A and B are shown apart, each in its own frame.
Chain A
């Protein structure tokens, strides 16, 4: 059987890639995608921990399902906000959204 640590390493890598993407990308949609990567890394963690450590209790599984649901709701609101910004200024680049400064 594949050891638990492999899953955790994959999760950590995915999380770091997502985090790097969220900080470095300029396109709001790409940032959203990076955030989804981070959330999926968390789900890998939850499911791996659940399967290997407490397979008889449901907490880990339930947490993963709730995280997926919340991520979907968050993405819906996020995309709506991106569309609102796009309609008012014809761009989704976060560099060009810069009215508020100081």
Chain B
């Protein structure tokens, strides 16, 4: 039952909901001067909501049977809100001239943020499905919003067709799980499965159910072999939207993977650990080796973000709920990695977008001599690429350290070895871009970067370095949020 005195736990969602309708209202009825400020209304709503999420962290309650209010959920809410702030900043100079319906775009972004918040708090299969679909449907529209752009159209229809099939498969898995246990609540499912107290005799359906659920979550977090949509969609979508899909939306896939598998399916942990082990190795290897032969920087980033998903899954494979007071419980590693990755990758996509805006190209050859044309972009991109490659003193390194450390703590030596070999391979394509920017001579006019985009990049740069050099405070938050999930 829902009681009114617990509604304040949902205040981040309510704030964003009000902001979204406010943005829509201003777009329709507001004065011209107000309409110009729409992105800043959006950001104000997001910042307020971030304050609320942060302030509520540390609670460990359920709002209703279907929604949890724990640090784990608030942590992912914060990641989602921050990414949407960055995306909005990048959109300020991107949207005018491309569409007249800017208000709708910002409102949709806010709705996507709400969808993320609902999805990561879900503790019931119905809510998990609803949250995922809410996010998916708003994302389809965001990708295809610029409807006169052929490439965006194509990206949207591909994203939609893959997404609809994946979510139908996931829903089938949920129906099987419901048929086995007679309940849709995650904790109740775990209880019945552990006690062997099943309502029907089809116990063999448990593994197919697990497999089908993995398809749905794997699609969202672009794990191989459910990743085929990712490069095309990241390539064709408006670049700020690609930044959103590659970070916040992917984070939701991981949040749900962790929430559902850890809370509902501990009884078959051995099965999903084996499954995710295989997916992790596949994802890293395929992502990295395909990224190596890309000539477009945007597609290279797309495949690199597939490969990064492979590293992140390692944390869940090495998940261990038994050892108390350790940062290497796996889940905490995933949380920290996702935070660092969100800033780094969103920044990288924004840099690519800024350059594309000016040169109309994402080809590697057009990055030649970038340092002369825009020292700012080249410098930011250098740090972000180093972070993606996992060079020490960046957030990416600390993320890898936490996740690989968890793998070693759980004695997954071979997995850790494969991951490290993959990281070395990845350095190859990240440094190809760095080489082009700094060491290959190239000519071209200077690139001017719009002010809001500049702010977004400064934030991502600062956070990437901060997470790498002074990680202790963030590590503490990631660890406690992870432990809230693990149940310690």
Among the stretches B97-105, B136-144, B449-457, the one at the interface with A is B136-144
A18 / chain B contacts, CB cutoff of 8 Å: 168
Bound-state CA distance A62–B176 (Å) is 15
B153 at the interface (CB under 8 A from A): yes
Q: B interface, how many residues as a size bin?
A: 35 or more
Check B150–A89 contact: CB distance below 8 A.
yes
A66 at the interface (CB under 8 A from B): yes
Q: Are A99 and B130 CB-contacts (below 8 A) given A42-B175, A45-B175, A53-B199? A: no
Q: How many A-B residue contacts, CB cutoff 8 Å?
A: 134
Check A100–B232 contact: CB distance below 8 A.
yes
Q: Which residues of chain A from 70 to 102 have a CB within 8 Å of any chain B CB?
A: 70, 73-74, 77-78, 81-82, 84-85, 87-89, 94, 97-102
B164 at the interface (CB under 8 A from A): yes
B168 / chain A contacts, CB cutoff of 8 Å: 18, 35, 38-39, 42
Interface centre among B140, B157, B202, B231 (most CB of A within 10 A): B157
A101 / chain B contacts, CB cutoff of 8 Å: 232
A49 / chain B contacts, CB cutoff of 8 Å: 175, 178-179, 182, 200
Q: Identify the closest chain B residue to A22 (Cβ).
A: B165
Check B150–A88 contact: CB distance below 8 A.
yes
A4 / chain B contacts, CB cutoff of 8 Å: 200
Bound-state CA distance A97–B202 (Å) is 42
Bound-state CA distance A55–B434 (Å) is 63
B160 at the interface (CB under 8 A from A): yes
Q: Which residues of chain A from 1 to 34 have a CB within 8 Å of any chain B CB?
A: 4, 8, 11, 15, 18-19, 22, 28, 31-32
5 tightest A-B CB contacts, nearest first: A45-B175, A38-B168, A49-B179, A100-B232, A54-B182
Chain B residues engaging chain A, CB cutoff 8 angstroms: 125-126, 129-130, 133, 136-137, 140-141, 144, 147-148, 150-151, 153-158, 160-161, 164-165, 167-169, 171-172, 174-176, 178-179, 182-184, 199-200, 202, 231-232, 235-236, 294-296, 299
